[in-house]
A = this chain, B = another copy of it.
Amino acid sequence: MPRRRQSVTIKHVAADAGVSLQTVSRVINNEANVRPQMKERVQKSIDKLGYVPSIAARRMSGSRSYLILALNDRERTIADWRAREGSDWVDQMLLGGMLKCAEHGYRLMVELVDTHSDHVQRELRAAIAALQPDGVLLTPPHSDNRLITDLLEDAKIPFARIGSRVQDDAIALTMGDDRLAKRAVRHLVEKGHRRIGFIAGPKDYAISDWRKAGWMEAMAEAGLRTDKLCERGDFGFASGERAARKLLERRERPTAIIASNDQMAMAANAVAHDMGLRVPGDLSLVSFDNTPVVRFVQPPLTAIDQPIAETVARAVELLIAAKNGDELPPMPVVVEGELIERQSVSRPPSQLAAARANG
Protein backbone atom coordinates (compact mmCIF):
# COMPACT_ATOMS: atom_id res chain seq x y z
CA MET A 1 0.00 0.00 0.00
CA PRO A 2 1.36 3.38 -0.95
CA ARG A 3 1.43 6.07 1.65
CA ARG A 4 -1.85 7.83 1.09
CA ARG A 5 -1.74 11.56 1.32
CA GLN A 6 -4.38 14.13 1.73
CA SER A 7 -5.11 15.70 -1.63
CA VAL A 8 -5.49 19.19 -0.25
CA THR A 9 -3.79 20.10 3.01
CA ILE A 10 -3.42 23.20 5.06
CA LYS A 11 -0.12 23.74 3.25
CA HIS A 12 -1.79 24.05 -0.10
CA VAL A 13 -4.20 26.58 1.30
CA ALA A 14 -1.42 28.53 2.96
CA ALA A 15 0.56 28.62 -0.27
CA ASP A 16 -2.45 29.61 -2.31
CA ALA A 17 -3.38 32.41 0.05
CA GLY A 18 0.22 33.40 0.62
CA VAL A 19 0.08 33.13 4.38
CA SER A 20 1.48 30.86 7.07
CA LEU A 21 -0.03 27.56 8.12
CA GLN A 22 -0.95 29.07 11.42
CA THR A 23 -3.10 31.75 9.89
CA VAL A 24 -5.02 29.16 7.96
CA SER A 25 -5.41 27.15 11.13
CA ARG A 26 -6.76 30.22 12.88
CA VAL A 27 -9.31 30.77 10.18
CA ILE A 28 -10.48 27.16 10.25
CA ASN A 29 -10.90 27.32 13.98
CA ASN A 30 -12.49 30.72 13.94
CA GLU A 31 -9.94 32.15 16.32
CA ALA A 32 -9.45 35.77 17.16
CA ASN A 33 -6.47 37.76 15.96
CA VAL A 34 -7.08 37.47 12.27
CA ARG A 35 -7.90 40.58 10.32
CA PRO A 36 -11.22 40.26 8.48
CA GLN A 37 -9.51 40.96 5.23
CA MET A 38 -6.94 38.22 5.81
CA LYS A 39 -9.64 35.87 6.95
CA GLU A 40 -11.60 36.46 3.81
CA ARG A 41 -8.59 35.84 1.61
CA VAL A 42 -7.87 32.55 3.34
CA GLN A 43 -11.49 31.51 3.23
CA LYS A 44 -11.49 32.11 -0.49
CA SER A 45 -8.56 29.76 -0.93
CA ILE A 46 -10.22 27.18 1.25
CA ASP A 47 -13.37 27.28 -0.83
CA LYS A 48 -11.47 27.32 -4.08
CA LEU A 49 -9.40 24.28 -3.22
CA GLY A 50 -12.24 22.53 -1.42
CA TYR A 51 -10.09 22.13 1.64
CA VAL A 52 -11.45 20.18 4.60
CA PRO A 53 -9.19 19.50 7.56
CA SER A 54 -8.23 15.94 8.39
CA ILE A 55 -9.89 14.85 11.58
CA ALA A 56 -6.97 12.55 12.33
CA ALA A 57 -4.38 15.29 12.01
CA ARG A 58 -6.41 17.61 14.20
CA ARG A 59 -6.68 14.93 16.81
CA MET A 60 -2.96 14.27 16.66
CA SER A 61 -1.83 17.79 17.14
CA GLY A 62 -4.58 19.39 19.08
CA SER A 63 -6.86 18.74 21.91
CA ARG A 64 -9.83 17.63 19.88
CA SER A 65 -10.88 14.55 17.96
CA TYR A 66 -14.24 15.94 16.85
CA LEU A 67 -15.72 12.60 17.82
CA ILE A 68 -18.56 11.85 20.20
CA LEU A 69 -18.91 8.27 21.30
CA ALA A 70 -22.38 6.88 21.99
CA LEU A 71 -22.13 3.93 24.34
CA ASN A 72 -24.87 1.32 24.09
CA ASP A 73 -25.41 -1.95 25.83
CA ARG A 74 -24.16 -4.61 23.46
CA GLU A 75 -26.40 -7.48 24.45
CA ARG A 76 -29.64 -5.54 24.51
CA THR A 77 -28.90 -3.57 21.35
CA ILE A 78 -28.02 -6.61 19.29
CA ALA A 79 -31.01 -8.51 20.65
CA ASP A 80 -33.28 -5.63 19.62
CA TRP A 81 -31.76 -5.49 16.17
CA ARG A 82 -32.13 -9.20 15.64
CA ALA A 83 -35.65 -9.38 17.01
CA ARG A 84 -36.76 -6.77 14.48
CA GLU A 85 -39.65 -5.78 16.66
CA GLY A 86 -39.46 -2.19 15.63
CA SER A 87 -37.62 -0.74 18.58
CA ASP A 88 -36.04 2.41 17.19
CA TRP A 89 -33.96 3.67 20.10
CA VAL A 90 -30.74 3.63 18.09
CA ASP A 91 -32.38 5.35 15.13
CA GLN A 92 -33.70 8.14 17.30
CA MET A 93 -30.30 8.45 18.92
CA LEU A 94 -28.71 8.82 15.52
CA LEU A 95 -31.37 11.27 14.41
CA GLY A 96 -30.76 13.55 17.35
CA GLY A 97 -27.06 12.89 17.76
CA MET A 98 -25.72 12.81 14.22
CA LEU A 99 -27.50 15.92 13.11
CA LYS A 100 -26.46 17.91 16.15
CA CYS A 101 -22.89 16.68 15.80
CA ALA A 102 -22.85 17.71 12.16
CA GLU A 103 -23.91 21.24 13.12
CA HIS A 104 -20.71 21.54 15.13
CA GLY A 105 -18.37 19.75 12.76
CA TYR A 106 -18.42 16.66 14.95
CA ARG A 107 -19.18 13.03 14.16
CA LEU A 108 -21.05 10.47 16.20
CA MET A 109 -19.71 6.96 16.59
CA VAL A 110 -21.79 4.16 18.02
CA GLU A 111 -19.99 1.79 20.34
CA LEU A 112 -21.35 -1.36 21.93
CA VAL A 113 -20.08 -2.50 25.32
CA ASP A 114 -21.03 -5.31 27.66
CA THR A 115 -22.64 -3.88 30.75
CA HIS A 116 -22.77 -7.00 32.74
CA SER A 117 -19.27 -8.21 32.21
CA ASP A 118 -16.09 -7.36 34.06
CA HIS A 119 -14.52 -6.09 30.91
CA VAL A 120 -16.68 -2.98 30.60
CA GLN A 121 -13.62 -1.10 31.65
CA ARG A 122 -11.29 -2.88 29.31
CA GLU A 123 -13.65 -2.33 26.42
CA LEU A 124 -14.17 1.31 27.22
CA ARG A 125 -10.48 1.95 27.75
CA ALA A 126 -9.77 0.41 24.37
CA ALA A 127 -12.36 2.58 22.66
CA ILE A 128 -10.97 5.68 24.32
CA ALA A 129 -7.41 4.80 23.41
CA ALA A 130 -8.36 4.09 19.83
CA LEU A 131 -10.59 7.10 19.26
CA GLN A 132 -9.91 9.67 21.97
CA PRO A 133 -13.46 10.97 21.80
CA ASP A 134 -14.21 14.51 22.94
CA GLY A 135 -17.31 13.34 24.71
CA VAL A 136 -19.18 10.19 25.61
CA LEU A 137 -22.91 9.66 25.58
CA LEU A 138 -24.09 7.19 28.19
CA THR A 139 -27.41 5.47 27.56
CA PRO A 140 -29.38 3.30 29.98
CA PRO A 141 -28.44 1.04 31.64
CA HIS A 142 -24.94 2.52 31.49
CA SER A 143 -25.80 6.00 32.60
CA ASP A 144 -24.99 5.59 36.25
CA ASN A 145 -22.49 2.77 36.03
CA ARG A 146 -19.66 3.81 38.30
CA LEU A 147 -17.15 1.61 36.52
CA ILE A 148 -17.81 3.71 33.46
CA THR A 149 -18.20 7.15 34.97
CA ASP A 150 -15.12 6.82 37.16
CA LEU A 151 -13.08 5.80 34.18
CA LEU A 152 -14.28 8.74 32.15
CA GLU A 153 -13.64 11.16 34.98
CA ASP A 154 -10.12 9.81 35.26
CA ALA A 155 -9.59 10.26 31.56
CA LYS A 156 -11.05 13.76 31.84
CA ILE A 157 -13.51 13.07 29.06
CA PRO A 158 -16.86 14.84 29.39
CA PHE A 159 -19.79 12.48 29.50
CA ALA A 160 -23.54 12.91 29.36
CA ARG A 161 -25.89 10.53 31.09
CA ILE A 162 -29.24 9.96 29.44
CA GLY A 163 -31.86 8.93 31.95
CA SER A 164 -29.88 9.94 35.02
CA ARG A 165 -30.41 12.34 37.87
CA VAL A 166 -27.15 12.02 39.67
CA GLN A 167 -26.29 15.56 40.61
CA ASP A 168 -22.63 16.31 40.32
CA ASP A 169 -20.48 18.30 38.00
CA ALA A 170 -21.22 15.97 35.08
CA ILE A 171 -24.00 16.20 32.56
CA ALA A 172 -27.27 14.37 33.21
CA LEU A 173 -30.53 14.42 31.28
CA THR A 174 -33.90 12.93 31.99
CA MET A 175 -37.13 12.82 30.09
CA GLY A 176 -39.19 13.68 33.15
CA ASP A 177 -40.24 10.12 33.80
CA ASP A 178 -41.92 10.74 37.12
CA ARG A 179 -43.96 13.65 35.86
CA LEU A 180 -44.94 11.68 32.79
CA ALA A 181 -46.11 8.77 34.91
CA LYS A 182 -48.19 11.23 36.90
CA ARG A 183 -49.52 12.62 33.66
CA ALA A 184 -50.65 9.14 32.66
CA VAL A 185 -52.36 8.57 35.99
CA ARG A 186 -54.14 11.91 35.82
CA HIS A 187 -55.32 11.16 32.32
CA LEU A 188 -56.87 7.92 33.54
CA VAL A 189 -58.32 9.51 36.69
CA GLU A 190 -59.99 12.16 34.54
CA LYS A 191 -61.63 9.37 32.59
CA GLY A 192 -63.03 8.05 35.85
CA HIS A 193 -60.58 5.24 36.69
CA ARG A 194 -59.84 4.54 40.35
CA ARG A 195 -58.07 1.20 40.28
CA ILE A 196 -55.04 1.91 38.13
CA GLY A 197 -52.48 -0.86 38.00
CA PHE A 198 -48.82 -0.43 37.21
CA ILE A 199 -46.28 -2.72 35.59
CA ALA A 200 -42.85 -1.57 36.68
CA GLY A 201 -39.57 -2.10 34.87
CA PRO A 202 -36.46 -3.88 36.13
CA LYS A 203 -34.51 -2.40 39.00
CA ASP A 204 -31.26 -2.02 37.12
CA TYR A 205 -32.82 0.79 35.11
CA ALA A 206 -33.16 3.95 37.20
CA ILE A 207 -36.09 5.07 35.08
CA SER A 208 -38.06 2.08 36.34
CA ASP A 209 -38.25 3.51 39.82
CA TRP A 210 -38.97 7.06 38.71
CA ARG A 211 -41.88 5.92 36.64
CA LYS A 212 -43.19 3.89 39.52
CA ALA A 213 -42.69 6.76 41.94
CA GLY A 214 -44.65 9.07 39.66
CA TRP A 215 -47.50 6.58 39.55
CA MET A 216 -47.55 6.25 43.33
CA GLU A 217 -47.41 9.96 43.90
CA ALA A 218 -50.21 10.73 41.49
CA MET A 219 -52.31 7.96 42.96
CA ALA A 220 -51.78 9.38 46.43
CA GLU A 221 -52.69 12.85 45.23
CA ALA A 222 -55.91 11.48 43.80
CA GLY A 223 -56.61 9.70 47.07
CA LEU A 224 -56.30 6.27 45.49
CA ARG A 225 -54.78 3.11 46.88
CA THR A 226 -51.82 1.41 45.27
CA ASP A 227 -51.50 -1.82 47.22
CA LYS A 228 -51.71 -4.97 45.11
CA LEU A 229 -51.74 -2.79 42.04
CA CYS A 230 -48.07 -3.05 41.07
CA GLU A 231 -46.11 -5.87 39.49
CA ARG A 232 -42.58 -5.79 38.18
CA GLY A 233 -41.40 -6.95 34.77
CA ASP A 234 -38.09 -6.80 32.93
CA PHE A 235 -39.21 -4.79 29.87
CA GLY A 236 -39.69 -8.04 27.93
CA PHE A 237 -42.99 -9.27 26.51
CA ALA A 238 -43.13 -12.48 28.56
CA SER A 239 -42.56 -10.66 31.82
CA GLY A 240 -45.33 -8.26 30.86
CA GLU A 241 -47.70 -11.16 30.35
CA ARG A 242 -46.94 -12.55 33.79
CA ALA A 243 -47.35 -9.17 35.43
CA ALA A 244 -50.58 -8.38 33.62
CA ARG A 245 -52.04 -11.77 34.44
CA LYS A 246 -51.30 -11.31 38.11
CA LEU A 247 -52.94 -7.91 38.15
CA LEU A 248 -55.99 -8.99 36.18
CA GLU A 249 -56.59 -12.15 38.18
CA ARG A 250 -56.93 -10.24 41.45
CA ARG A 251 -60.42 -10.11 42.90
CA GLU A 252 -60.66 -6.37 42.50
CA ARG A 253 -58.93 -6.12 39.20
CA PRO A 254 -57.69 -2.79 37.87
CA THR A 255 -59.76 -1.02 35.23
CA ALA A 256 -56.62 0.47 33.78
CA ILE A 257 -52.95 -0.44 33.61
CA ILE A 258 -49.92 1.69 32.97
CA ALA A 259 -47.00 -0.33 31.67
CA SER A 260 -43.43 0.93 31.95
CA ASN A 261 -42.67 0.17 28.35
CA ASP A 262 -44.37 -0.78 25.11
CA GLN A 263 -43.51 -4.47 25.05
CA MET A 264 -45.09 -4.98 28.45
CA ALA A 265 -48.10 -2.89 27.43
CA MET A 266 -48.60 -5.02 24.36
CA ALA A 267 -48.31 -8.08 26.56
CA ALA A 268 -51.00 -6.70 28.85
CA ASN A 269 -53.15 -6.07 25.79
CA ALA A 270 -52.70 -9.66 24.67
CA VAL A 271 -53.47 -11.05 28.12
CA ALA A 272 -56.61 -8.95 28.33
CA HIS A 273 -57.82 -10.33 25.01
CA ASP A 274 -56.99 -13.84 26.21
CA MET A 275 -59.09 -13.32 29.29
CA GLY A 276 -61.99 -12.06 27.25
CA LEU A 277 -61.57 -8.46 28.34
CA ARG A 278 -62.02 -5.76 25.78
CA VAL A 279 -59.50 -2.96 25.47
CA PRO A 280 -60.40 -0.25 26.22
CA GLY A 281 -63.97 -1.21 27.19
CA ASP A 282 -62.98 -3.44 30.11
CA LEU A 283 -59.39 -2.40 30.51
CA SER A 284 -57.69 0.85 29.59
CA LEU A 285 -54.01 0.79 28.77
CA VAL A 286 -51.27 3.42 28.74
CA SER A 287 -47.81 2.47 27.63
CA PHE A 288 -44.41 4.08 27.99
CA ASP A 289 -41.91 4.86 25.22
CA ASN A 290 -44.14 5.09 22.16
CA THR A 291 -41.98 2.95 19.92
CA PRO A 292 -43.29 2.45 16.38
CA VAL A 293 -45.15 -0.80 17.07
CA VAL A 294 -47.76 0.70 19.40
CA ARG A 295 -49.56 2.17 16.40
CA PHE A 296 -49.94 -1.18 14.78
CA VAL A 297 -51.49 -3.24 17.56
CA GLN A 298 -55.22 -3.42 18.10
CA PRO A 299 -56.24 -1.08 19.52
CA PRO A 300 -53.44 1.44 18.87
CA LEU A 301 -52.04 2.27 22.28
CA THR A 302 -52.21 5.56 24.07
CA ALA A 303 -48.60 6.11 25.08
CA ILE A 304 -46.12 8.37 26.77
CA ASP A 305 -43.67 9.45 24.12
CA GLN A 306 -39.97 9.56 24.98
CA PRO A 307 -38.29 12.40 23.10
CA ILE A 308 -35.11 10.44 22.51
CA ALA A 309 -33.86 12.36 19.50
CA GLU A 310 -34.36 15.68 21.21
CA THR A 311 -32.72 14.51 24.40
CA VAL A 312 -29.70 13.09 22.64
CA ALA A 313 -29.36 16.27 20.59
CA ARG A 314 -29.38 18.29 23.79
CA ALA A 315 -26.83 15.92 25.33
CA VAL A 316 -24.48 16.38 22.39
CA GLU A 317 -24.85 20.13 22.66
CA LEU A 318 -23.95 20.02 26.34
CA LEU A 319 -21.03 17.71 25.69
CA ILE A 320 -19.55 20.08 23.16
CA ALA A 321 -20.24 23.02 25.43
CA ALA A 322 -18.42 21.22 28.24
CA LYS A 323 -15.50 20.52 25.94
CA ASN A 324 -15.42 24.19 25.06
CA GLY A 325 -15.37 25.12 28.70
CA ASP A 326 -18.71 26.91 28.42
CA GLU A 327 -20.94 27.23 31.42
CA LEU A 328 -23.54 24.50 31.80
CA PRO A 329 -27.13 24.74 33.03
CA PRO A 330 -28.09 23.14 36.35
CA MET A 331 -28.39 19.38 36.21
CA PRO A 332 -30.28 17.27 35.45
CA VAL A 333 -31.61 18.82 32.27
CA VAL A 334 -35.18 17.70 31.67
CA VAL A 335 -36.46 17.21 28.13
CA GLU A 336 -40.01 16.30 28.81
CA GLY A 337 -42.06 13.86 26.76
CA GLU A 338 -45.79 13.93 26.20
CA LEU A 339 -48.90 11.81 26.25
CA ILE A 340 -50.04 10.64 22.84
CA GLU A 341 -53.72 9.73 22.87
CA ARG A 342 -54.77 6.79 20.75
CA GLN A 343 -57.48 4.23 21.31
CA SER A 344 -56.56 2.16 24.33
CA VAL A 345 -58.16 4.43 26.92
CA SER A 346 -61.84 4.93 27.65
CA ARG A 347 -63.94 5.44 30.75
CA PRO A 348 -64.00 2.43 33.10
CA PRO A 349 -66.64 -0.32 32.56
CA SER A 350 -68.93 0.81 35.43
CA GLN A 351 -69.26 4.29 33.99
CA LEU A 352 -69.71 3.01 30.48
CA ALA A 353 -72.57 0.82 31.71
CA ALA A 354 -74.10 3.77 33.59
CA ALA A 355 -73.81 5.95 30.54
CA ARG A 356 -75.53 3.32 28.48
CA ALA A 357 -78.31 2.95 31.06
CA ASN A 358 -78.85 6.70 31.17
CA GLY A 359 -78.60 7.20 27.44
Contacts and interface: CB of A to CB of B under 8 A. Distances in A.
A3 B62 contact: yes
Interface in A59-118: 59-60, 62-65, 78, 80-82, 84-86, 88, 90-92, 94-95, 98-99, 107-110, 112
- How many subunits of this chain does the assembly comprise? 2
A125 B50 contact: yes
Contact of A90 (B55, B91, B107, B126): B91
Interface stretch (A170-178, A194-202, A293-301): A293-301
A63 B3 contact: yes
A311 interface: no
Contact of A52 (B6, B85, B90, B129): B129
B94 A90 contact: yes
Interface string A291-325: 11100111000000000010000000000000101
Given A54-B129, A107-B109, A296-B297, A81 B92 contact: yes
Contacts of A4: 63, 132, 156
A60 B62 contact: no
Contacts of A296: 86, 293, 296-297
Contact of A88 (B51, B88, B156, B297): B88
Given A56-B56, A65-B56, A95 B109 contact: no
Given A3-B63, A109-B109, 4 more contacts: A1-B325, A2-B63, A3-B62, A4-B63
Interface of A: 1-4, 6-8, 50-57, 59-60, 62-65, 78, 80-82, 84-86, 88, 90-92, 94-95, 98-99, 107-110, 112, 122, 125-126, 129-132, 155-156, 291-293, 296-298, 309, 323, 325
11 contacts: A1-B63, A1-B325, A3-B62, A53-B130, A55-B131, A56-B65, A80-B91, A81-B94, A84-B88, A90-B90, A107-B109
